[in-house]
Amino acid sequence: MAAAYLAFAVFGGFWGTWGASIPAIRDQAGISDGQLGTALLFVGAGALPAMPVAGRLVDRWGTRVTALLLASLGLAGVLVAVTARDLVGLSVGLAVLGTVSGAADVAINATAGSAQATTGAPVIGRAHAIFSAAVVVSSLGAGGARATGLPPVVAFAVLAVGAVAAGIVLARNAPAPVVAGYRATGRRTPELRSGPARPLLILGGLGALAFAVENGHQSWSALYLGDVLDAGPTTAAAGPAVFAGMVALTRWSTAGLSTRRPGAVLLCGCLLAAVGTAALASAASVAFGLLALAVAATGTAVLFPTLLSVLTSRVPEDVRGAATSVVATIAYLGFLAGPVYVGRWADAVDLPGAMLALAALAAALAVLAPISVHRLAKANAARTSGAPASRGKTHSPTP
């Protein structure tokens, strides 16, 4: 469990620093909001090819892969801060960053899933809570650095030192890979190939919508508070911090519930996300805007960890990395598309209108997620009860 928690702390530290540094990065590069949205597409260009590969590497080499990726992520952040001098430089840096962060995303979620399956504790929800708490701390630190006039590279350099140190600790304490089939044959086990791919695609699609809402807020809240509600640099940086803080508290307190009643948790989360996002669009003050962000955060907090818990209950350990990579790759499309979606709507109308468009995504997910998870649970139960004993497969019951 400790490895999963440390990995998520580093990952959260990076994204908190990035979220609070977006206004400074945009100004340093001299680009518009729409151009920023375009540059963010290059994160996906790097991430999407890397994520399936990362899943297979994790299945074969375990935590050592996670350690290497976390250390590389810190260095990639420094690269972005250095190269963001124009649209081209920012886009190139984000492509490299996307490659590392996408692979790291798969690795840390597979690590948490393995720990949850092994211990029975709600590791996924708690690990994501630690991620969000790290976002709070790092975003406040990066916002404070910006307020004092320091360039973005300073905050990313501090993060890189911590990421490399964490990678060393993980590598030194990494257990031997547990997938005997990989060590013996060097090939993927056929179990994942013989199982149905449709549930993984469904979970990935739901995760994409959830991530679009979550990262839409995380990436644009500082800009929204500053540009629409006239907040100062330090107060604007509190937007990602408030959002992530509420996410952390909600994830930690509901981790167990998410594994027992996923459909109900998803429905409540989607509704809160939609209401909070719509309220932000009508905010007339910084205080009300922060309150609306907190409500939206409470809703979005439970979405992706709950979907990952459903995944963990469906797949065996020896293909957890590969299965996680399928779901995470599809879900990551939403993580990337969310900020772009907001940016394009902001160019077409304005930022409040973009928030209403984001609320519509949460409302759509409120319809789709509970129904889909319920159907997956029924299908999994039917397959488990009807599986021939001679096949020798076991499945954990879906929560």
Q: List domains and CATH numbers for the chain.
A: 2-176+196-384 (1.20.1250.20)
At 196 the pLDDT is 59
| pTM over 0.75, yes/no | yes
At 57 the pLDDT is 87
At 236 the pLDDT is 84
Of all residues in the chain, what percent carry a pLDDT higher than 70? 88
pLDDT in tens, 221-245: 888 998 899 888 778 877 877 887 8
- Whole-angstrom Cα distance, residue 233 to residue 236? 5
- Whole-angstrom Cα distance, residue 129 to residue 365? 22
- List of the chain residues with pLDDT < 50: 179-194, 387-399
Q: CB–CB of 93/37 below 8 Å? A: no
H or E stretch covering 340: helix 320-348
At 397 the pLDDT is 35
Q: What is the DSSP letter of 397?
A: P
With H, G, I as helix, E, B as strand and everything else as coil, classify residue 121: coil
To the nearest 10 degrees (0 to 180), the angle between helices 87-119 and 33-61 is 40
At 385 the pLDDT is 58
Q: CB–CB of 362/284 below 8 Å? A: no
As given in the structure block, the two tokens for residue 359 are: 């609320």
